[in-house]
Each structure stands twice: as C-alpha cells, then as structure tokens.
C-alpha cells in the first residue's frame, strides 16, 4: 500500500491487517517500486498524488514487470478523466476518497478473486547461472575458483537480469527495479555495475551481458 498521508495509511493498513492481510506501507512511489522488487505481493493499493513517483507512473512501471497483479487506486481525484487515466495506467479498480471500510474490504476481496495468482510457486533463493551459484539472499556469487560477495545493487541487477535471461530487457525496467527511478545519473551508475558484473562472470564464456544500443540489455546464458 502506498499513501503519503501517513495517518490515513496507518488507519487503512491496520484495518487490512485486522482482516487477515499482511501489509507493507510506503510513503512514496519510488520506495514502493523498490519494495515490490524485493518481496512477493498479491495486491497493490496506490494513492495517485504521491511524492517522487506518482501513482499513475508507479502503476505503469509495475505493469512492465507484472501484468497480473491487481492494482487498486484510492484517490481524492474523482473526475472521470482521472479514473480513465488510472485504468489506462493499468488499474483494475478505482475507489474515490472518502470511502467506507466495508467498501474497501469488498473491493479487495473481489480483486483477489478475479485475478488468478500463482501464490504457491516461491522464487528460488539459490540459482545456478552457468558455472556459478548465485545466492540471491546473501548476495554471494560462487564459481569453481572463487566466492564473491556482491553489493546489494549488484545482486539486485543480477537477479533482474537472470529473471529475464535470454530476453531483451529494457534499461528502464532495470533502473526502476533497482533504483525506483529512471534518469541520466542512475543510468550511468547502471553502466558501471554492468561492467563489474561482466568481470565477475568472465570465467564462463557461455554467459554474456550484451548491450542493445538505445534499448537495454540481453543476459545470455547457455545452460
């Protein structure tokens, strides 16, 4: 749940917890996108007017990575144009403030029933990448000759690349996944981290991180 009005966010999240849900409360869109990348969620509840990254932009970024998770907007912006923009951004439902706890409960239940979610398939914590073993929780990368401890951002970038292995992944997807934003300065940081990862993975010639000019990267791994 993303709500910059902390008082309202606490009230709503406490109500959802009382209904049996586990809730992560964030104050801005960039923080929310980072948390979305770090944990598995079944539902997103966004305010629209958020600092750093607004709710509509956040929804579009989420949709680039997950087309199935339900998105519910809770917003004081009640104009038809706002609702249309919300649905065009990827929302499944749009509830205007003020709203009753009962209505929110019903909308949450309906969204979770409507969308088929694969909740029983956990993401592997330790994966094989060619000759390497990558521990995504402890940020270690082990080859036959050495054990490397990655920084958190290095591990997040490698995890994102591996998730989309042998596919073209746009730069903005990686940037939003790791930094929660897409601008020139973090883009330059990404290039530095990619260079480091190439060095870490050079023992296996079957692993390549190829730059597709103007688009993104392709993490090629022939198992």
Phi first, then psi: give them for residue 89, nearest 5 degrees: -75, -10
- Identify whether 186 is part of a domain: yes
Residue 27 confidence (pLDDT): 92
Q: What band does 172 get if pLDDT is binned at 50, 70 and 90? A: confident
Q: Are residues 61 and 11 in the same domain?
A: yes
Whether 70 is covered by a domain: the verdict is yes
**Residue at 63 is within a domain:** yes
At 130 the pLDDT is 93
- Please indicate, yes or no, whether residues 11 and 82 belong to a single structural domain of this protein: yes
Residue 87 and residue 168 in one domain: no
Tell me, yes or no, whether 110 and 143 share the same domain: no
Residue 130 pairs in a beta bridge with: none
In terms of average pLDDT, the best of 3-17, 28-42, 69-83, 187-201 is 187-201
140 by DSSP, 3-state: which? strand
Q: Which of 80, 114, 148 is the last residue of a domain?
A: 114
Categorize the per-residue pLDDT at 123 as very low, low, confident or very high, splitting at 50, 70 and 90.
Answer: low
Q: How many CA atoms lie within 13 A of 190 on its CB side?
A: 27
Task: Look at residue 115 in the predicted model and tell me its pLDDT.
Answer: 58
pLDDT for 204 equals 95
Q: What is the domain extent for residue 164?
A: 126-221
* Statement to judge: residues 40 and 140 lie in one domain: no
Last residue of a domain, one of 114, 147, 177: 114
Predicted pLDDT at 208: 95
CATH number at residue 35: 3.40.50.2300
What pLDDT, in 10s, does the model give residues 46-59? 999 999 999 999 99
> Which of the two residues, 199 and 214, has the higher pLDDT score?
199
The verdict on 188 and 162 lying in the same domain is yes
Q: Based on the fold, state whether residues 94 and 141 are members of the same structural domain.
A: no
pLDDT at residue 218 greater than cutoff 90: yes
Mean pLDDT, all residues of the chain: 88
Q: Which of 59, 81, 114 is the last residue of a domain?
A: 114
- Number of domains forming the structure of the chain: 2
Structure pTM? 0.55
| Residue 119 lies inside a defined structural domain of this protein | no
Q: Name the burial class of residue 68, with classes exposed (0-12), middle (13-18) and buried (19+) by CB atoms within 10 angstroms of its CB.
A: exposed
Q: Are residues 168 and 214 in the same domain?
A: yes
pLDDT reported for residue 120: 43
């Amino acid at each position: 749940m993303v709500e910059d009005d902390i008082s309202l966010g606490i009230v709503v999240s406490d109500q959802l917890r009382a209904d049996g849900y586990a809730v992560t409360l964030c104050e801005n869109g960039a923080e929310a996108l980072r948390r979305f990348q770090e944990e598995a969620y079944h539902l997103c509840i966004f305010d629209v007017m958020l600092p750093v990254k607004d709710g509509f932009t956040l929804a579009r970024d989420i949709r680039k990575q997950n087309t199935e998770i339900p998105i519910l907007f809770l917003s004081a912006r009640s104009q038809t144009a706002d609702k249309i923009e919300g649905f065009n951004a990827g929302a499944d439902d749009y509830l205007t403030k003020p709203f009753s706890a009962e209505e929110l409960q019903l909308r949450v239940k309906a969204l979770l029933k409507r969308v088929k979610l694969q909740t029983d398939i956990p993401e592997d914590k330790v994966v094989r990448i060619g000759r390497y073993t990558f521990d995504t929780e402890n940020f270690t990368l082990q080859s036959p000759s050495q054990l490397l401890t990655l920084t958190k951002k290095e591990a997040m970038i490698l995890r994102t690349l591996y998730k989309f292995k042998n596919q073209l992944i746009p730069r903005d997807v990686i940037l939003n996944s790791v930094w929660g934003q897409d601008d020139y300065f973090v883009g330059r940081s990404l290039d530095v981290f990619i260079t480091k990862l190439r060095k870490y993975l050079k023992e296996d010639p079957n692993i390549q991180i190829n730059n597709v000019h103007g688009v993104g990267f392709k993490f090629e791994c022939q198992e």
